[in-house]
Amino acid sequence: MRAYTNSKLAGILVTFELQRRVTEAGSPVRAIVAHPGIARTNLAKAAGGSSAVFDRVLGRLFNDAATGALPIEYAATMDVPGGSHVGPDGLGHLRGYPTIHEPSRKARDPRLAREVWDLSVQLTNNAASGRPSATAVA
CB-based contact 14:113 (threshold 8 Å): yes
User: pLDDT tens digits for 48-62?
Assistant: 666 666 666 666 778
- What's the CA dihedral at 129, 130, 136, 138 to 10 degrees? -90
Which CATH number characterizes residue 119's domain?
A: 3.40.50.720
What is the domain range of residue 46? Answer: 2-137
Percent of the chain with pLDDT over 70: 79
Residue 92 has pLDDT above 50, yes or no: yes
Choose the catalytic residue: 1, 4, 24, 133.
4
Name the most confidently modeled range: 51-55, 93-97, 127-131.
93-97
DSSP string, 67-134: HHHHHHHHHHHS-PPTT-EEEE-SGGGSSSSEEEE---TGGG-HHHHHHHHHHHHHHTT--S-SPPPH
Percentage of the chain lying above the pLDDT 90 cut: 63
DSSP string, 30-42: ---EE---SEE-S
pLDDT reported for residue 61: 79
pLDDT of residue 113: 97
What is the count of structural domains for the chain?
1
Q: Which helix (H) or strand (E) holds 4?
A: helix 2-24
In this predicted structure, what is the pLDDT of residue 137?
46
Please choose, from the candidates 100, 106, 96, the residue with its C-alpha nearest in 3D space to the C-alpha of residue 75: 100
Residue type, 19: Q
The yes-or-no answer on residue 74 being catalytic is: no
| Structural element, H or E, at residue 25 | none
Asked if 2 contacts 54 with a C-beta cutoff of 8 angstroms, the reply is no
In this predicted structure, the answer to whether residue 63 has a pLDDT above a threshold of 70 is yes
